[in-house]
Structure 1
């Protein structure tokens, strides 16, 4: 059974190589269509991951539709000579296509965006004054609200967030492609020389910003972005509710955004 499975995998790999050669050499539309079908599970994977952090009214089927646009673009633009796996390149473009479409729909209420910016500014001000991450009580006082109102704001922002750190952790290479820092770190292939210095600098800045997060927020970031656990699964690990994890995640994202934007 194991030998048969290995043989099937090898045959598929050979077929994919042949499809890539045919498409890139001649622009064969049928080869492109077969590549789209072969890699379509990537769209389902990315859409499923993103849907878990979005409001219930956002349909996963719509995300898949947006993601297919990104997959097709990835297939058309991918250079077989690049020292990066196609899957890594494609996932970044699929995420980008979904985020772009959601942005164009402008479905995040302006009041929520404004509140997020207000919290970022308050966090940046207090961190500068206190030389540490402010507590919920200190943030609420700075914002002129109660702790309960501040935490409710975090939940509202969380429900409107779209791949918050993926939007943050990107750089453009010389061809204009968006390359996610997370995908670059996870891929064994070397990044393109044209933007390796940008990635190294961004990696150092993000690592430093994460290191300065409060311990529980740091743990949530590690489990969510590096271990690929959902917010619900993290809540089970830490023994708290999913909504509490959403608050911790949102606080971490807003702290990181205020720090990185403050350094630009």
Structure 2
């Protein structure tokens, strides 16, 4: 049996190895962590655009929504009226994390996804924290969005998704998100504003936004990694650059190099193992 035939059979039977999940949103976080690994394994060999690929991707999204709720909880002080927007924006971060995650990173998906989710939420606050003049088209879209949200909430008995709102309003999902963001453009708060609470006492809003920059701890590692990267062959350096700087998927890298995704995966794993061993020897 050739390697090409084996890969084809893996793709054909990948969906058969995926468990049926009746309600992914009800999967416990601990179970979601173990099941996610299985779904990511199959996502790597399934062809994009197929029903099996969409099933695996959508199940991953719904199973890991608890990560969005966990991350959104950090911003509870923003007020309950903004929590719905925070969760919706956090979902964008979750989807980006799923599309960019690969098992070859050898990190837990939760550790990889939370920074994406929190980063998307912080970007949302950065773009909407000040009262600004909102274009008329967004003012009108905001009003239409409120009506559509009320209609779908009444019809579905739950908060509608961005996709459902976009279909009802005949807009793209990006336009719906833009209208959501515009709704926050009318309010602003000072970062020095005092917040009184029984648990926290009197604190400033800025206390809930700023976080320690953990990336500073990586500076020493980057200095140790630089000479190891310089020793790599040109192709290996190019693959590392495309994967971790340009953030391309293995499939996209394979297209650039004119080889199979599995070959890229093997090259990447081999190169990362070499760099990891070099870092351990250096330290």
Higher relative contact order (CA 8 A, sep 6+): 1
* Short-chain TM bin: 0.3 to 0.5
The structure that is helix-richer by fraction is 1
Give the TM-score normalised by the residue count of structure 1. Answer: 0.40
